[in-house]
Structure 1
């Protein structure tokens, strides 16, 4: 009897579940997208041979292997107007810290990667592939949790770093971007932002870094002129707690152009 009662209850419960809206049983969805992590690398190079070697590595080995691991939209850039041998800048996006932590192990297990990147990976000390790599780990802003790709075509990119006098100043500047509407202004004025992020490991901390893109230098100049005159920007920047003199101690910028194989 007890077994028949149990089966009857189970059948009725299953039928009720089938009649009720699926949302009753669905897992609640988070309103916020996961923030991505970015590795920003800068390769110091001494000559054209090193640049060719590093570029060949990214084009033929690193980017294909990263894509096989589900890491998309890898950007590789050279300086727009280098004073000497160009620095090479790479932007590698990760869905999580775990993906960042495990990627080198996975690449080392990828035989196609090892074969395609052999000249770079096994470059001798007497003829290194590069002078040095400076690498930073960034965390995407809540207001722009992932990379946004601009339209394909001839473009220039501006990579900007805002250094802060303190961690508190950095947090306030991020609040200005995420909550006070500064990212929205960039979008509305058609800066086509690629990413905004906080440097969590790297040089010159505390700082934030972001990338915007333009058709050319003339468009760059006009966009920033429009930004400075924008009524909403003037309103936000006039709030005493958001004054740049309190939040930003140094601005560094570099103009870049994408390589032919860059995915950004």
Structure 2
């Protein structure tokens, strides 16, 4: 009887030892932690659609996120829209697990669905928006967490660098992470909010980041300082980091925060 117990215990211990490494590897977001960002862009055909969507984010979604995961939600309109403005929404998550947990909670929250019905249950014949593009981004290791800019008059620039290949995209990220490009942004006072690699979304591979200025004149002055910076010239002069090799398209969008934006 004792021998059977010993054999049984040995088998269980052996199995546990074999499974343990697998479990350890499966645990998400082991240190060092990096944030993830849900970036959404809503397109409208008229002011009515924009109002329904903004009412939802101001009165329902933003308060719910603060309550559920204690994160500020950035909500922005275009500085100089062509026609009806688009609405940009940035939702930070301190770990990827929180992204999954939050979506599960919202799906099962009756109060959320009731309060947000005008947006969430808008009829197909009269939708709350024409299109929603969404991307999930993973923060760069050299800036693993967002940095909130001062609460003052400010405009934001959302920039995206698209690459033709996965290898080129990784090489461009290397410039930010390992070669000091992020440090240049910080040193020159760009007040970067985040840098992220798009892991799900459109136009991959790409990287996306957000920087902050007082106004358009301030933006022009900062970018001139960046182009003239000796450290940037040194990095960009390396043949393997030439934009012609690494970047196929650059998109820049100027944004202003809404009155209820947390960023």
**TM-score (structure 2 length as normaliser):** 0.86
Runs of 4+ in 1 over 4 A off after TM superposition: none
Contact 1:146 1:195 in 2 (8 A): yes
Instruction: State the Cα distance separating 1:114 from its structure 2 match.
Output: 2.4
Q: Contact 1:61–1:114 (CA<8 Å) still a contact in 2?
A: no
Deviation at 1:79, TM superposition (A): 0.4
1:55 is matched with 54
The offset of 1:138, in angstroms, is 0.6
- The residue number in structure 1 matching 2:192 is 193
Tell me the distance in 2 between the aligned counterparts of 1:250 and 1:107.
36
- How many residue pairs get aligned? The number is 235
Q: Which residue of 2 aligns with 1:176?
A: 175
SS state at 1:69 partner? helix
- In the other structure, the counterpart of 1:68 is 67
Query: In 2, Cα distance between the equivalents of 1:151 and 1:159?
Result: 17
**Corresponding position: 1:222 with 2:221:** yes
1:208–1:87 CA distance, 2 compared to 1 (3 A): same
**CA RMSD of the aligned region, Å?**
1.5
In structure 1, the residue matched to 2:158 is 159
Matches within 5 A, 1:103-122: 103-122=102-121
Shift in Å at residue 253 of structure 1? 0.8
Q: Deviations over 1:92-120 (max 9, x none)?
A: 11122222123222013334322321211
Residue matched to 1:150: 149
Deviations 1:59-94 (A, max 9, x none): 111111111111412100000000100000000111
Partner in structure 2 of residue 91 of structure 1: 90
Aligned-residue offset at 1:130: 0.5
CA distance in structure 2 between the aligned counterparts of 1:242 and 1:220, rounded to whole angstroms: 24
Alignment partners' CA distance in 1, 2:239 and 2:124: 53
Q: Alpha-carbon deviations, 1:180-220, whole Å to 9, x = none?
A: 00000000000000000001111111110000010000000
- The aligned counterpart of 1:131 is 130
Partner-residue secondary structure (3-state), 2:156: strand
Measure the CA separation in 2 of the matches of 1:202 and 1:193: 22
1:262 aligns to what? 261
CA contact 2:69–2:102 (8 Å) conserved in 1: no
Deviation of the 1:161 alpha carbon: 0.4
Given that 2:76 and 2:89 are in contact with CA atoms closer than 8 Å, whether structure 1 keeps it comes out as yes
Local SS of the residue matching 1:211: strand
Please name the residue that 2:24 is paired with: none
Q: Using the alignment, how far apart are the partners of 1:221 and 1:48 within structure 2?
A: 31
Contact 1:80/1:257 (<8 A) preserved: yes
Structure 1, 65-74 or 194-203: larger mean CA deviation: 65-74
The CA distance in 2 between the partners of 1:228 and 1:263, in whole Å, is 31
Which protein is bigger by CA-based radius of gyration?
1
172-181 or 103-112: bigger deviation = 103-112
Structure 1: where are the runs of 5+ without partners?
1-30
